[in-house]
Amino acid sequence: MHDLTGFQRDLLYVIAGADRPSGQTVKDEVETYYSSEINHGRLYPNLDTLVNKELVEKGQLDRRTNYYAITEAGRDRIDERREWEAQYVEF
């Protein structure tokens, strides 16, 4: 995950925790966490980056709505990140 921005990492986590969320659903979740509005010009290019890195799959729910789903590679990246974090933070 070292090659992702913090924002991209947050998007990946939101997508991993949901069942094929739409871009709008991802946006709503991230806005709640950030307590600020996320514009489309920031959201969708970052989602596309995750798709291009094959960490997220993009599909169509209908003509106007896309969904996003975590890939196996995306899950692996999250697992690797959590293992790395566990070295430094214990709960």
Question: What tens digit of pLDDT does each residue of 15-64 get?
Answer: 999 999 999 999 999 999 999 999 999 999 999 999 999 999 999 988 89
d(CA 48, CA 56): 9
Q: In this structure, which topology does domain 6-86 adopt according to CATH?
A: Arc Repressor Mutant, subunit A (1.10.10)
The one-letter amino acid at 35: S
The angle formed by the CA atoms of residues 40, 75 and 54, to the nearest 5 degrees, is 55
Domain boundaries defined on the chain: 6-86
Q: Is the pTM of this model over 0.85?
A: yes
